[in-house]
Amino acid sequence: MGSTTRLVRVLATVAVATLAAGASAAVPPAAAAATNAATNAARNAATDDWTIDATTFTADSSNVRADGPTVRLADDADDAAKAASAGTPDPWGVAVYPPHTLSTPATGVTADADRHGAELDVRARRADGTWSQWLPLPAALPLRATQLQLRAVLTGQDAAVGPLTVHPDDSTRIQPDSADKAGLSYRVYATREGLIGHKTANGHKIAKKDHFVALPSRRALGANGSGEYSVRVCANKRCAWAPVWDVGPWNTTDDHWSTGTRRQRWKDLPQGTPEADAAYRKGYNKGKDQYGRKVKNPSGIDLADGTFHDGLRLKGNSYVTVTYQWTGTGAVGTVHTNGIPLNVRSGASSQRPNVGVAANKAQVRVECKLRGLWVSGTFGRNNVWYRLYPGMYVASVYVSGVSGVRNC
């Protein structure tokens, strides 16, 4: 709903309230109370619009700079941040703005801004403190939310965005995006990203034995150094937990884990099927990706070298099972180490065999807790271990933010 329409409704409601006040002797108390409530609700609806100074982006932003009241790319050189996995030539920049708290819950969001080569995204905070995935505006939210966050994604040398005016509403139909406790899981073809020394879409510089993944949609792109959007990838009786720090392979608008109504493009494909897989195996979209390139493999996820080799011990590209952690609803925590991946064990002891790794800053879903071997870690010393998946455990002294976990 636009601000002008809201203002008209506010004025109309106030006018009714004023007439009622003038004839208070003839109006029953209950009717007067209802009129006042309607007036207050209309005022709240109007004041929930807010403006954002485009230059007030947070430290979670990457490759952007202020240019007067406008935000532009900070670097358009050959080594600038890009959707490296997708192999697109255009530089990327992401301007993330501080979260905003509403006076009344919203179910939908639109925004106005002077922009060129920039897309606007929004996300909503859930009751457990985690965020929904990013959604392009205009957006139907996955829940009634009182805290929202916006970002601008700039692509191309001339991309720019100016001041934003945001319009939340409570009349849009909710489109849920969460699943069971663990999160949505699909079998997807995985390839090794490589590209050591290149920068990813969030500005991360790829290192040897790096631990992150790329997915073919910016909806799950997290900030550099953050694990708020992480996946669990399993193969060869091993699992690796890693953050989403790049966009690709092949496409940048293929959130294949989303339902048909929620999916950004290719809504006719089955949920969980990447467009590249359908193009390669069945000739979908004439066998091409969104850029018109012939798809040469069915990849729906790229794995950094550390995740590929050390985490899963893959010897070549292959199908893996991917669980999209942010779509889950179970107890959640964040891994904190001195930078190296956390070993995942087959039991509640550091002496048990290694069956995977969890990257530093990765988000993990916790199934249950139990007592095991005493260990010292980032958060002190204890003997509590978390089960992340059947037969896979990590020491709790390396995981923060976990609450409400049952005993195994």
pLDDT tens by residue, the chain, 408 residues: 443 333 333 333 333 333 333 333 343 444 444 444 443 344 344 459 999 999 999 999 999 999 999 999 997 666 678 888 888 888 999 999 999 999 999 999 999 999 999 999 999 999 889 999 999 999 999 999 999 999 999 998 899 999 999 999 999 999 887 666 778 999 999 999 999 999 999 999 999 999 999 999 999 999 999 999 999 999 999 999 999 999 999 999 999 999 888 899 999 999 999 999 999 999 999 999 999 999 999 999 999 999 999 999 999 999 999 999 999 988 999 999 999 999 999 999 999 999 999 999 999 999 999 999 999 999 999 999 999 999 999 999 999 999 999 999
* Pairing relationship of beta strands 238-247 and 213-215 according to DSSP bridges: parallel
The CA distances from residue 293 to 144, 188, 255, in Å, are 40, 20, 19
The structure tokens listed for 337 are 């180490």
Cα 371 from chain centre: 33
Residue for token digits 């037969």? 391
User: Cα–Cα distance between 343 and 355 in angstroms, integer?
Assistant: 8
Task: Show the tokens assigned to 389.
Answer: 């998946």
- For residue 337, the model assigns a pLDDT of 98
Other residues' Cβ atoms within 10 Å of the Cβ of residue 123 = 26
Using alpha carbons, select from 406, 229, 241 the residue that is nearest to residue 335. Answer: 241
- Supply the pTM of this predicted model: 0.86
Distance CA 313, CA 320 (A): 12
Backbone phi, then psi, for 328, in 5-degree steps? Answer: -85, 170
Whether the CA torsion 58, 62, 65, 71 is positive or negative: it is negative
